[in-house]
Amino acid sequence: MTVFGFHASHEQIHPAKLLEAVIHAERAGFDAAMSSDHFSPWSARQGQSGFAWSWLGAALQATNLPFGVVNAPGQRYHPAIIAQAIGTLGAMYPGRFWAALGTGEASNEHITGDTWPRKDVRTARLRECVDVIRALLAGEEVSHDGLVTVDRARLWTRPEQPPALIGAAVSVATARWCAEWADGLITVNAPTDHLRQMIDAYRDAGGRGPLHLQVHVSWAPDQAEAEALAYDQWRSNVFAPPVCWDLDTAEHFDVASADVPMAKVSSAVNVSADLGRHVGWLQEYVELGFDQIALHHVGQEQRAFIDTFGAEVLPKLRAA
């Protein structure tokens, strides 16, 4: 049966309120949770950027939910530090934590002052980071000289079972590449045909493990309100790669998105006041074979969404 989770958006919500929201989501019937890991929001209107790793410790302690996080090792984070973070949470909360690894975005990574590499270099760097992280979680002492440098690193605190390392992808080519190393695949909502192609590419290349999907949702009792929420909070997030990878700051995203039409937002967010439409959209993702679907309500107030989807949407999906 598909697991339905709550996506905790650090770019939009103060971490204290986000902790309240995820506790409430568990009580309302959500099965799991996942977290974004950003240094910067996508828009000044979103206005937050809590540190995901410290928040995850609090959230895992405050709930019984399994959690995941999407992370980009290699520039802002040294892979040995990410291995230590993964290992500590895995040791403290066995079987409840996974990490998805991707190549990142300039809006988060430029803060180091290092050059933002080409996509092919970022991909090669991520592959090195994956190997470093896996070796450290396996108990090896690691030294490595390449796009990242590691000198005699060893994790002294490790879980008995290393947490899953999930591949983050938005393209068919990247999904196929993730099959080389990942314990599962995660992507975001997109047209059904594209998602099917990604799944097929991953599986046909030998990809194993669960399929995760993050779904952007905007719901309110009134259609105009649902559209206004999505437009205010998520119109900066509608740009395809490489634009979304390469813009540096929230201010850049705000300028670029100043004249985005609502139709473009609706192509990236499932926007509707009709709960039946949301059930239908989510059922399509279930039928594609996704094992875990994390719902991200793009509004900054979460309680009404959590209560309504917990009572009216999730039961229908589970009964289908």
Q: Long-range contacts of range 189-197, CB-CB < 8 Å, 24 or more positions apart?
A: 189/213, 189/214, 189/215, 189/216, 189/268, 189/270, 189/285, 192/284, 192/288, 195/285, 195/288, 196/288, 197/172
Identify residue 132 by its one-letter amino acid code.
V
DSSP 191-213: -HHHHHHHHHHHHHTT--S-EEE
Instruction: Give CA–CA dist 75/84, Å, rounded.
Output: 16
Any idea what DSSP says for residue 278?
Answer: H
The values of phi and psi at residue 259, to 5°, are -115, 25
Name the burial class of residue 28, with classes exposed (0-12), middle (13-18) and buried (19+) by CB atoms within 10 angstroms of its CB. Answer: middle
Helix, coil or strand: residue 55: helix
**The pLDDT of residue 23 is above 90:** yes
Q: Is residue 247 predicted with pLDDT exceeding 90?
A: yes
pLDDT for 28-43, tens place per residue? 999 999 999 999 999 9
Q: 13: left (phi > 0), else alpha (psi -120 to 50), else beta?
A: beta
* Nearest to 233, CA basis, from 174, 297, 172: 297
Structural contact between residues 229 and 299, judged by C-beta atoms closer than 8 angstroms: yes
pLDDT > 90: percent of the chain: 100
User: How distant, in Å, are the alpha carbons of 109, 273, 301, 310 from that of 222?
Assistant: 38, 6, 15, 18
Query: What is the spatial distance between Cα 296 and Cα 270, in angstroms, rounded to a whole number?
Result: 10
Q: What is the pLDDT of residues 179-214, one digit of tens each?
A: 999 999 999 999 999 999 999 999 999 999 999 999
* pLDDT for residue 99: 98
Q: Which two tokens stand for residue 169?
A: 């992808």
Indicate which residues carry an active-site annotation.
38, 105
- Give the pLDDT band of residue 161 (cuts 50, 70, 90): very high
The yes-or-no verdict on residue 320 having pLDDT over 90 is no
pLDDT tens digit sequence for 89-116: 999 999 999 999 999 999 999 999 999 9
**The pLDDT of residue 202:** 98
What's the predicted TM-score (pTM) here? 0.96
